[in-house]
Chains A and B, each alone.
Chain A
Amino acid sequence: MVRDVTLGQYFPGKSLIHRLDPRAKIILLIAYLVIIFCTFNYLSLAVVALFTAFCVAFSGVPAKFYLKSLKVIFVIVIITSVINMFYGTGDPIFEWGIIKITVNGINRAVFVTVRIICLILASSCLTFTTSPTDLTDAIERLMKPLNKIHFPVHEIAMMMSLALRFVPTLLEETDKIMQAQKARGADMDSGNLFQRIKALVPILIPLFVSAFRRAYELATAMECRCYRGGVGRTRMKSIHMKKLDAFAFTATALVIGGVVLCNIFLPAAL
Chain B
Amino acid sequence: MSKILELKNLSFVYGQGTPFEKCAVSNVDLSIEKGELIGIIGHTGSGKSTLVQLLNGLIRPTSGQVILDGEDIWKNPKEIRKIRFKVGMVFQYPEYQLFEETVYKDIAFGPANMGKSGNELHDAVIKAAEFTGLDREILSKSPFDLSGGEKRRAAIAGVMAMDPEVLVLDEPTAGLDPMGRDVLLSQIVQYHRKRKNTVLLVSHSMEDIARVADRIMVMNSSKLVMFDETKKIFSHSRELEKYGLRVPQITKIMLKLKEKGYDVSDGVLTVDSALSQIYSLLNREGKIW
* A205 contacts B53, C-beta separation under 8 Å: no
Those of B139-153 within 8 Å (CB) of chain A: 144
How far is A184 from B56 in the complex, measured between Cα atoms in Å?
Answer: 11
Q: Are B114 and A185 in contact (CB under 8 A)?
A: yes
A179 at the interface (CB under 8 A from B): yes
> Which of B19, B85, B96, B158 contacts A210, CB < 8 Å?
B96
Majority SS at the chain B contact face: helix
A11 neighbours in B (Cβ, 8 Å): 19
- Chain A residue numbers with a CB within 8 Å of B244 are none
How many A-B pairs have beta carbons closer than 8 Å: the answer is: 58
Contact count band on B:
20 to 34
Interface flags for A10-35 (1: CB within 8 Å of B; 0: not) read: 01100000000000000000000000
Q: Which B47-66 residues sit within 8 Å CB-CB of chain A?
A: 53, 56, 58
> Which A residues are in CB contact (< 8 Å) with B114?
185
The interface bits of chain A over 170-182 (1 if a CB of B lies within 8 angstroms of the residue's CB, else 0) are 0001001101111
Known A-B contacts A64-B17, A181-B97; the reply to A187 vs B84 at CB < 8 A is no
Q: In the complex, A210 Cα to B144 Cα: how many Å?
A: 11
Tell me whether A38 is interfacial, beta carbon within 8 Å: no
In the assembled complex, the Cα of A202 lies from the Cα of B110 at a distance in Å of 11
A268 within 8 A of B: no
Establish whether residues A185 and B84, one from each chain, have CB atoms under 8 Å apart when the complex forms. Answer: yes
Residues of A within 8 A of B109 (CB): 181, 184-186, 202
Write out the residue numbers on chain B whose beta carbons fall within 8 Å of the beta carbon of A145. none
* B91 at interface by CB-CB < 8 Å: yes
Judged by a CB distance under 8 angstroms, whether B249 is at the interface is no
How far apart sit A16 and B113, CA to CA, in the bound complex (Å)?
Answer: 53
Contact B81 A206 (CB under 8 A): no
Q: Are A202 and B84 in contact (CB under 8 A)?
A: no
Q: How far is the CA of A206 from the CA of B114 in the complex (A)?
A: 22
Contact status of A185 and B113, CB under 8 A, knowing A11-B19, A179-B58, A209-B144: yes
Cβ 8 A contact of A185, one of B96, B98, B110, B144: B110
Q: Which residue of B lies closest to A64 (CB)?
A: B17
- Interfacial chain A residues near B94, Cβ < 8 Å: 180
- Find out whether the CB atom of A179 lies under 8 angstroms from the CB atom of B91: yes
Question: Cβ of A177 and Cβ of B96 under 8 Å apart?
Answer: yes
Q: A12-B19, A179-B58 are in contact. Are A186 and B99 (CB under 8 A)?
A: no
A201 interface residue (CB < 8 Å to B): yes
Told that A173-B96, A177-B96, A180-B96 touch, could you supply 7 new A-B pairs with CB distance under 8 A? A11-B19, A183-B58, A184-B97, A184-B109, A185-B81, A187-B81, A205-B99
30 contacts between A and B (CB under 8 A): A11-B19, A64-B17, A176-B91, A176-B96, A177-B96, A177-B97, A179-B53, A180-B94, A180-B97, A182-B58, A183-B56, A183-B88, A183-B89, A183-B159, A184-B84, A184-B97, A184-B109, A184-B110, A184-B113, A184-B158, A185-B109, A185-B113, A186-B113, A201-B99, A202-B99, A202-B109, A206-B96, A206-B97, A206-B98, A206-B99
Q: Which 8 A-B pairs have the closest CB atoms?
A: A185-B113, A180-B97, A184-B110, A205-B99, A183-B89, A202-B99, A179-B58, A206-B96
Interface residues of chain B, those whose CB is within 8 Å of chain A, are 17, 19, 53, 56, 58, 81, 84-85, 88-89, 91, 94, 96-99, 109-110, 113-114, 144, 158-159, 162
